Amino acid sequence: MPSVQQTCILCASHNGDNLGLCKPCLKDLPWHNAQQCPQCALMTNGSICGSCLSTPPSFDATTALLTYDYPVDGLLQHYKYNASLNLAHTFASLFLEKKLTQSKQSMMQNEVNLIIPMPMHQNRLKERGFNQALEIAKLLSKALTIQLDYTACQRTKHTPPQASLNLKDRIKNIKGAFSCQQSLQHLNIAIIDDVMTTGASLNELAKTLKQAGAAHVECWVMARTLQK
Ligand SMILES: [Zn+2]
Ligand SMILES: [Zn+2]
């Protein structure tokens, strides 16, 4: 298939390719390829970090495509608040490339058989009209032929946005925020989200999925905030 030339979203050159990013801009993105904790994706020497050892999260692994730094922060903000489906396609395509490379390198991975996007409370969904995690999840589900379920789990608690809170308040804010009505017995689940900051929401959702019977839960996020 011939690639479609678009304007690059970052530098406005005309060599944006079919992802809307030119080669130099693509190369300069803050890829999260450094040695990291396999469970939460914070940078380590490749072993599990102290925080995951002392307080193990409910999710078992994390794959983060990029770090939440310039210009990814701006791109994700733009995506979220403008419902820019082109950007959903860009992030999903780049994430797929990473997954493909990963699966070639390792035979030890748990095969994911269900994809669940981070649920959004219905009030917020009404405000925004679109769930940024769901749009990316749809594309990943289709490309990987893994079932997508965005109704199994709901966000039942309408909470202030996590971004406005510190870690302690984030944990308190999100506690009991999700509910899951169906059995997820024996399933290996990937939760899709745009940004992982402290991981409090992903952890709480993973806990809910495990309580519903999930065998393995991993986080697939487009960007990870790294502690400075
Ligand atoms: Zn560019
Ligand atoms: Zn960790």
Does domain 31-224 fall under CATH 1.10.3470? My reply is: no
Q: How sure is the predictor about 95, in pLDDT bands with cuts at 50, 70 and 90? A: very high
Taking the centre of ligand 2 as the mean of its atom positions, its distance from the CA of residue 7, in whole angstroms, is 38
Question: pTM of the entire structure?
Answer: 0.94
- pLDDT tens per residue across span 128-183: 889 999 999 999 999 999 999 999 999 998 877 777 788 888 888 889 999 998 99
Q: Which ligand is nearest to the CA of 20?
A: 1
| Domain locations in the chain as residue ranges | 1-29, 31-224
Residue 71 Cα to ligand 1 midpoint, Å, equals 11
For 43-89, what is each residue's pLDDT tens digit? 999 999 999 999 999 999 999 999 999 999 999 999 998 888 999 99
- Contact between residue 226 and residue 72 where contact means Cβ atoms under 8 Å apart: no
Distance from residue 54's CA to the centre of ligand 2 (Å): 10
